[in-house]
Structure 1
C-alpha cells in the first residue's frame, strides 16, 4: 500500500501515510483512555516510520514495506494500556511500544519466507517482491533497529528483549522441526504458540507497566495476561482460517491448510482419526492427499473440517485461554485500563464465535 493511499485497512484508515486507528479497534468506550491511546499510537506510528528509514534506497523500500501495509498494532496498544497503571506519559512507554512492534514486524519478514506466504496484510510479501535473501536481511535489519531503541531503555530492558527474542527463535525452530515421536502434538503446538506469539505480547504489556512505574505485582499480572491472551489470539486465528471469509479476515479460508500449517483444528482432527473416528479420517485423508493446490479439494477439506467437532473443540480451547487471561486482571487497580484489557480478551474470544 502506498503512503498516500486512502484505502481502509483492518487496523483503521490510512490518511497521508499515517495509520489512524478506528474506534472499533480500540477495546474501550472510555473517552479519556481512547483519546490517550489514539495519541500514543499516532506517536508510535511516526516513530516506527522514522526507525525503519534508511539512506540506502533498497533497504529503505524493503524496511518500510510492512509498516506502510498497516496492521492492528496490538502489541504497542497493549504496551500503552500497561502504561496506564502508572504514568502513561513517560517517554519510555512510547519507546517500548516502538520496540515491540519493530520486533514483531521483523519476525514477519522471516515467517513469510519460511511459510512461502504470497501476501501479508494485503500487500505482496517482501520475499515475493525482492527475493528470500533480501527479505531475511530486512528482518535482521529491523531486529537491529529494535535493539538500538531498546538500548536506550537500560540493561534490564535489553535483557528482557533478548530473552523474548530467544523465545521467538526457539518457537519457530520447534514449529519447523515438529513434535518428537513420543511428544503430544497438541501440547507441542501450544508450547510453540507460547514462545512464537505469546512471548512478545507478554513483553509488550510488561514493558508498558514497567516503564510507567507501576507496582511489581501489576507488571507480573501484565506478563501472565499477555502469555495467555497471546495463545488465545493465535488459536482464534486457527479457527478463523476455516470459518471466516476473506472480507472479514483478510485471508482466504483454508490458507493454513494449503500451506500445511498444523493448526489446532487439524491436530484435533488427527487425534480423532487415530482414535477411530471415520469422519476425522476422511478429513485427514484430504489433508494428506497432496491435492490441496486444487481449489475444489481445498474447499472440500475446509468444509469437512469446519463441520467436524474438531473445530468446535478448537473454538472452545481458544475461549478457555482468553477467559484464563482475564483471571490475571483481578489484582490490577480497577479502572478503564483494566476494563479495556478484559474487553480485549473478550474480543479475542468473540472472534471464534
Structure 2
C-alpha cells in the first residue's frame, strides 16, 4: 500500500482478526496478531451465560465490523513498555463491547431495521430483547473492567456518563440553543468519547507515561469527530456507487447532520428554500432530490469539511508530541484515509 490505509471489514462466523494495511509490514502483522487475540477474547467472553443470552449478544458480533476502536487501543499500546499485553487486549475488548452495546440501544431508539448488513436485534426479536442484549454486554464489560483495576473502572464510569449524556442531549434536542453547537457536542459525546477511551486505556495498560496517554486520548477524540462528520458529508454528497449508501437517508428520517445544519443557517436564497423544505422527515423521492440539489448549491459541504480539517490538525498536533515511528505514521494515515472517503 502506498497512498493510504486500507480497512477490511470482519464478516461472518469464520472471520477472526481484522486485517489492515498501515504501510509497514511488521506493524501490519503485529496488529493482525493482536486483533486475533481481541476477537478470540471477545467471543469467549460473550459466549458466557445462558444460551438464550449468548444468541442475542453474539448477533452483531458475528455480523462483523471494522473493530476500529480495539484497533486504536492496540496501536496506542505501542507507546508503552508493554505493547499489546493481555491487559491491553482486555481493555480493547471492553471498548468494543461498549460500542456494541450502544449499537443495540441506538437501533431501538432509531427504530432501525438493519445493522451491519443483517436484521437489527430489535427487528429480529423485539425492543426489549435488544435493550437487554445491550445491557448484558455492559455487564460483561464491567466484569472485565474489575479485572483491570479501579483506575479502569473509574475511567469507564466517566465514559459511560458521557455516552449517556450525548444520547440524552440528542434525544432532547437543541431547544433554544445553537443547533450546530448542540450537534457538535452530541457527536463529541456519542462518538469521540469512546475512541478517546480506546486510546487512553490502550496507552495506560501498556505502561505509557501520562503525557502520552493524554495525547492519545485527544487524538482518539479528534479522530472520532472526523469519522462522524465525514459520514455526515457522505450521506448527503456521495453517490450510492461510491458510498454503498442511499444519499439522503438521514433526510428521510428527519435527522439533520452538520452539513445540513450549516446550509439551513445560510443567509441566502438556498438557505431560505431549505428552511421551507426541511421542516421534518422527507417522505417522497422528489422531496429528497430537491433537498439534495439545494444542499449541493449551499456552503454546507465546504463548512463541514473545514471542521474535518480542523480536527485533522488536532490529530497532527497531538501526534507531533509522540515518537516519529511506524505507529505514529499509521495513526496519521488512518485519519487521512477517513477524509479520502469524501472524495
Same fold (TM over 0.5): yes
Query: Does structure 2 conserve the Cα–Cα contact (< 8 Å) formed by 1:322 and 1:348?
Result: no
Deviation at 1:12, TM superposition (A): 3.1
Deviation at 1:334, TM superposition (A): 1.6
Aligned to 1:224, which of 218, 221, 237?
218
Deviation at 1:13, TM superposition (A): 5.2
Q: Bigger CA drift: 316-325 or 221-230? A: 316-325
CA–CA separation in structure 2 for the residues paired with 1:41 and 1:247 = 30
Partner of 2:123: 128
Alignment of 1:15-164 (within 5 A): 17-23=14-20, 26=21, 28-86=22-80, 87-164=82-159
Aligned to 1:333, which of 307, 316, 323?
323
Q: Does 1:293 align with 2:283?
A: yes
CA–CA separation in structure 2 for the residues paired with 1:165 and 1:122 = 27
Aligned to 2:298, which of 286, 308, 312?
308
Deviation at 1:128, TM superposition (A): 0.9
Deviation at 1:58, TM superposition (A): 2.9
Deviation at 1:61, TM superposition (A): 1.8
TM-score (ref. length: structure 1): 0.90
Deviation at 1:15, TM superposition (A): 6.5
Deviation at 1:16, TM superposition (A): 5.1
Partner of 2:3: none
Deviation at 1:299, TM superposition (A): 2.9
Q: Bigger CA drift: 317-326 or 118-127? A: 317-326
Query: Does structure 2 conserve the Cα–Cα contact (< 8 Å) formed by 1:168 and 1:199?
Result: yes
CA–CA separation in structure 2 for the residues paired with 1:270 and 1:347 = 29
Partner of 1:191: 185
Q: What SS is found at the alignment partner of 2:323?
A: coil
Gaps in structure 1 of 5+ consecutive residues: 1-9
Deviation at 1:55, TM superposition (A): 4.2
Deviation at 1:20, TM superposition (A): 4.5
Q: Bigger CA drift: 131-140 or 98-107? A: 131-140
Deviation at 1:319, TM superposition (A): 2.3
Query: Does structure 2 conserve the Cα–Cα contact (< 8 Å) formed by 1:122 and 1:250?
Result: no
Q: Deviations over 1:208-265 (max 9, x none)?
A: 1111111111101001111111111111110011123445444322111112223101
Q: What SS is found at the alignment partner of 1:349?
A: helix
Gaps in structure 2 of 5+ consecutive residues: 1-6
Partner of 1:7: none
- Poorly superposed stretches of 4+, deviation over 6 Å: none
Task: Give the CA RMSD over aligned residues.
Answer: 1.8
Query: Does structure 2 conserve the Cα–Cα contact (< 8 Å) formed by 1:19 and 1:70?
Result: no
Alignment of 1:228-267 (within 5 A): 228-267=222-261
Partner of 1:180: 175
CA–CA separation in structure 1 for the residues paired with 2:13 and 2:179 = 46
TM-score (ref. length: structure 2): 0.93
Query: CA 1:13/1:91 → structure 2, altered by over 3 Å: closer, same or farther?
Result: closer
Q: Deviations over 1:324-346 (max 9, x none)?
A: 22211111112011111111111
